[in-house]
């Protein structure tokens, strides 16, 4: 009964949010959290009301990327109030609830499912245009819980161009189909390197693998983001991406494709 009550609570809360997007990847380290953070910031700068929820319980990195590791989450009665990163962007990450940022979380499946459900049911987002949910890589408990709990949620898949990452994203595509989670589209990250001196694009890994996979599976290709050393610097220091980063052009294309859907 308690479970059903919580499900109802989640459904009611989610009704105040127009678009719910779960960001997923087959592999870790492909830039899923970086893409989630930059999409959330990008949409908020376009004037949309955005929430960014990090349900990557074992490796929450959103707070670090945004430079809000020390942010304290406030409570309104028994509800968590997400951290106001900017006027249009609210953030909630497991990281903000940990006392020690380097503490590992050791929980088994049911506990993780409980925490993800609690994040979904007990957060005061208010009215939002977009809720971006950063899930851990793979097809484990957290993405499954999101897929099964959040009505009208869609998946945004992130991959890098190498076959090894594409093989795993194909699994994610099949996972989404199996659990009936509609796929918003695919983003290819670390897609070539724009040389800062000669400004030409070098395909360090392979090229167009993401586009081809999207076509093969009949899903939307949302765009590609090149490798930019500034992404690492800004991600590690919690600074936002420089205006002149070559990633911005790709990001704008991705944002355009998201809002057009
Ligand atoms: P994931 O969430 O998939 O594990 P992260 O977003 O944490 O991946 O990114 C992994 C590392 O790669 C981070 O150090 C991040 O700064 C870096 N990174 C992500 N995208 C890019 C990019 N386009 N160019 C350069 N470095 C990137």
Q: Is 32 annotated as a binding residue?
A: yes
pLDDT digit string (tens) for 10-25? Answer: 999 999 999 999 999 9
User: What spacing in Å lies between the alpha carbon of 190 and ligand 1's midpoint?
Assistant: 8
pLDDT at residue 132, rounded to an integer: 98
pLDDT at residue 105, rounded to an integer: 67
Query: Which atom of ligand 1 sits closest to the CA of residue 25?
Result: 3
Q: Is 20 annotated as a binding residue?
A: no
At the topology level of CATH, where does 2-259 sit? Rossmann fold (3.40.50)
pLDDT digit string (tens) for 51-84? Answer: 999 998 777 789 889 998 888 888 888 889 999 9
> Residue 88: which region, alpha, beta or left (left: phi > 0; alpha: psi -120 to 50)?
alpha
Residue scoring higher pLDDT (172 or 198)? 172
User: What spacing in Å lies between the alpha carbon of 231 and ligand 1's midpoint?
Assistant: 7
SS3 231: helix
pLDDT digit string (tens) for 242-252? Answer: 888 889 999 99
41 pocket-lining for ligand 1 (C-beta < 6 Å): no
pLDDT at residue 101, rounded to an integer: 65
pLDDT digit string (tens) for 89-148? Answer: 999 987 777 766 676 666 677 778 888 999 999 999 999 999 999 998 988 888 999 999
pLDDT at residue 173, rounded to an integer: 96
Stretch 213-223: mean pLDDT, rounded? 95
Q: Which residue has the tokens 């704008």?
A: 252
Count of positions (residues) in the chain:
261
SS3 content of the chain, % helix, strand, coil (to 5): 40, 25, 35
32 pocket-lining for ligand 1 (C-beta < 6 Å): yes
Tell me what the pLDDT averaged over the chain comes to. Answer: 90
Closest CA to ligand 1's atom 15: 232
- DSSP one-letter string for 134-179: E--SSSSHHHHHHHHHSTTEEEEEEE-SSHHHHHHHHHHHHHHHHT
Stretch 200-225: mean pLDDT, rounded? 89
Closest CA to ligand 1's atom 14: 232
Closest CA to ligand 1's atom 23: 227
Residue scoring higher pLDDT (205 or 2)? 2
Closest CA to ligand 1's atom 18: 31
pLDDT digit string (tens) for 36-51? Answer: 999 999 999 999 999 9
Write the CB contacts of 257 (distance below 8 Å, at least 6 apart in sequence). 185, 220, 222, 223
Residue 185 has pLDDT above 80, yes or no: yes
pLDDT at residue 256, rounded to an integer: 98
196 pocket-lining for ligand 1 (C-beta < 6 Å): no
Q: Is 33 annotated as a binding residue?
A: yes
Write the CB contacts of 109 (distance below 8 Å, at least 6 apart in sequence). 141
pLDDT at residue 128, rounded to an integer: 98
Closest CA to ligand 1's atom 8: 31
Residue 229 has pLDDT above 70, yes or no: yes
166 pocket-lining for ligand 1 (C-beta < 6 Å): no
């Amino acid at each position: 009964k308690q479970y059903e009550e919580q499900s109802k609570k989640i459904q009611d809360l989610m009704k105040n949010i127009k678009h719910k997007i779960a960001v997923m990847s087959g592999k870790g380290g492909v830039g899923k959290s970086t893409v989630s953070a930059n999409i959330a910031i990008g949409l908020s700068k376009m004037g949309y009301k955005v929430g960014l929820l990090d349900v990557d319980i074992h490796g929450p990195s959103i707070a670090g990327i945004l430079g809000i590791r020390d942010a304290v989450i406030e409570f309104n009665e028994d509800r968590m109030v997400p951290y106001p990163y900017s006027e249009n962007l609210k953030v909630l990450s497991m990281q903000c609830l940990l006392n020690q940022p380097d503490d590992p979380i050791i929980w088994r499946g049911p506990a993780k499912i409980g925490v993800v459900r609690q994040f979904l049911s007990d957060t005061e987002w208010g009215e939002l245009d977009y809720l971006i949910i950063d899930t851990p890589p793979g097809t484990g408990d957290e993405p499954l819980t999101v897929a099964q709990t959040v009505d009208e949620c869609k998946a945004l898949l992130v991959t890098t161009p190498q076959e090894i990452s594409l093989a795993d994203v194909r699994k994610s595509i099949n996972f989404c189909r199996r659990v009936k989670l509609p796929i918003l589209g695919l983003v290819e990250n670390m897609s070539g390197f724009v040389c800062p001196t000669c400004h030409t694009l070098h395909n360090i890994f392979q090229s167009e693998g993401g586009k081809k996979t999207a076509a093969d599976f009949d899903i939307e290709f949302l765009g590609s983001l090149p490798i930019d050393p500034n992404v690492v610097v800004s991600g590690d220091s919690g600074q936002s991406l420089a205006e002149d980063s070559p990633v911005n052009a790709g990001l704008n294309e991705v944002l355009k494709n998201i809002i057009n859907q």
